[in-house]
Structure 1
Amino acid sequence: MIAETVCSAVAAAGLGIAAVSAYRKRFLSAARIAAYSLVPLGLVMTGIVEWIADTAFSPTAWAGFVVLGAAWALFATTRAVERRRGGTRKERKAAARSAQPGAVAPGASAPSLGQAPSRPTASSPRATSGAEDFSDIEAILKKHGI
């Protein structure tokens, strides 16, 4: 009952402000204010305000809102995890089936799939000594006057 009274008072005040705006020759503004002020009156007449007031003071309705919030949080969490993993389980399985078993990268070209050049291992002697490694750095530092 109080909500209906407040909405009706807001509508009456808005229509009064619209009348003052129209008197000042601001017809577009007056029409817009009148439209906004008629919304609460229409909500009261349709019974939506009463339904909202009953819902606002109902513990069952609030429990329902909590359940809806929990469902939304679960949807958001699962979507975030799905994005982090790279798609749904079905998409990941399809990607795993399409990948070549021996390829380094699934989309690699034929020349890159060849034998990798041999790298020196830790047990093999180095081709360069420690002094030669620093000679390049010394040359750069000399070039810059350091």
Structure 2
Amino acid sequence: MSDVLLFTVSLAATVLGLLASWRFARSRGTASGLRGAAWSLVPLGFYLTGLTGFLASLALNPARWAGVAVLGLAGVLYVVSGVRLRSRAPEAGPRRVAPAERQGAAPAPRGGAALGDGMDDDMKEIEEILRRRGI
């Protein structure tokens, strides 16, 4: 595509977007108008940085499509690795033993209440599971 045509299309998209943003600012508020203005300036920014020419040549160039596919694959692999790293369980180290447990005595429940004082059976069971796991 010619440079003049790319500039004209980019400028037209920017002007139309800014007009729509002004309308949104009047009807929906300043924040919506500012957000619309930001998005409206993107086509002109693409043209001025040369990205519009790249995107126009991308449509007919298989080598550039391959590059975009490789970058997309790299992004997917990066995201998947982050998910996998977060989902790994922390390695179990040596468990800390409270002094009361070392002597064989039952640990005192949190809050000073004994197990069963005014609690229903479900709460007793939950507290017992948490106590066994050291939580």
TM over 0.5: no
Compute the TM-score of the two structures, normalised by the length of structure 1.
0.40
Higher Rg of the two aligned structures: 1
